[in-house]
């Protein structure tokens, strides 16, 4: 989804604000894929300021996927917001000042929204901060009941050795 800033015909001090429907592909957090939905769409606000355009992209986000600890279904609400600047003239602006999502005054709204969503997510998505997860030995969901397995004793030397072997074991 793209917005051309020139099409908005804003004069200095003027603002354009509009909400668009937008679908985003799943994002991957900790190696697991999560569905993203923007129930109220994405709001794009453009301010014509001295030297260029300030572009603000914001959305309420719903994230669906498994809890990283117990694999239970999680629905997480977050707020994604990101601001980008598009100078009207290249003079005086370095490469790092240029938004990666704006080229030739055309704004990649989906690209900004996607980055904002990723930045708004925690590094691990869990059903509850106190989730106990699954027993690593028998797989019991420890939020439901204790399983009676002895606490896992990890032998450091064996753990190291396993890392050195090829996947699938010796000779694989």
Report the interface residues with Zn ion, using CB under 5 A: 67, 69-70, 72, 127, 131, 135, 137-138, 140, 147, 149
Comparison of 9 and 138: residue with beta carbon closer to Zn ion: 138
Q: How far is the CB of 107 from Zn ion (least distance, A)?
A: 38
Burial pattern 17-26, b for ≥16 Cβ within 10 A else e, equals eeebebebee
Instruction: Please identify, using beta-carbon distances, which residue of 50 and 152 lies nearer to Zn ion.
Output: 152
How far, in Å, CA of 59 to CA of 76, rounded? Answer: 14
Question: Minimum CB separation from Zn ion for residue 7, in Å?
Answer: 46
Residue (8 or 131) nearer to Zn ion, CB = 131
Cβ at position 121, least distance to Zn ion in Å? 16
- Closer Cβ to Zn ion, 67 or 80, answer by number: 67
Minimum distance from residue 85 beta carbon to Zn ion (Å)? 40
């Amino acid at each position: 989804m793209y917005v051309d800033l020139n099409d908005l015909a804003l004069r200095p001090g003027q603002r354009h604000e509009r909400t668009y429907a937008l679908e985003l592909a799943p994002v991957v957090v900790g190696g697991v894929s999560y569905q993203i939905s923007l129930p109220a769409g994405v709001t794009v606000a453009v301010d014509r300021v001295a030297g260029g355009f300030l572009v603000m992209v914001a959305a309420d986000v719903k994230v669906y996927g498994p809890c990283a600890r117990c694999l239970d279904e999680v629905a997480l609400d977050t707020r994604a917001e990101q601001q980008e600047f598009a100078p009207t003239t290249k003079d005086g602006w370095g490469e790092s000042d240029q938004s990666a999502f704006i080229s030739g005054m055309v704004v990649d709204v989906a690209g900004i929204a996607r980055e904002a969503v990723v930045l708004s997510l925690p590094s691990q998505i869990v059903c509850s901060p106190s989730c106990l997860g699954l027993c690593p030995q028998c797989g019991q969901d420890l939020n439901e009941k204790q399983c009676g397995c002895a606490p896992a004793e990890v032998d450091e030397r064996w753990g190291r050795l396993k890392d050195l072997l090829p996947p699938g074991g010796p000779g694989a």
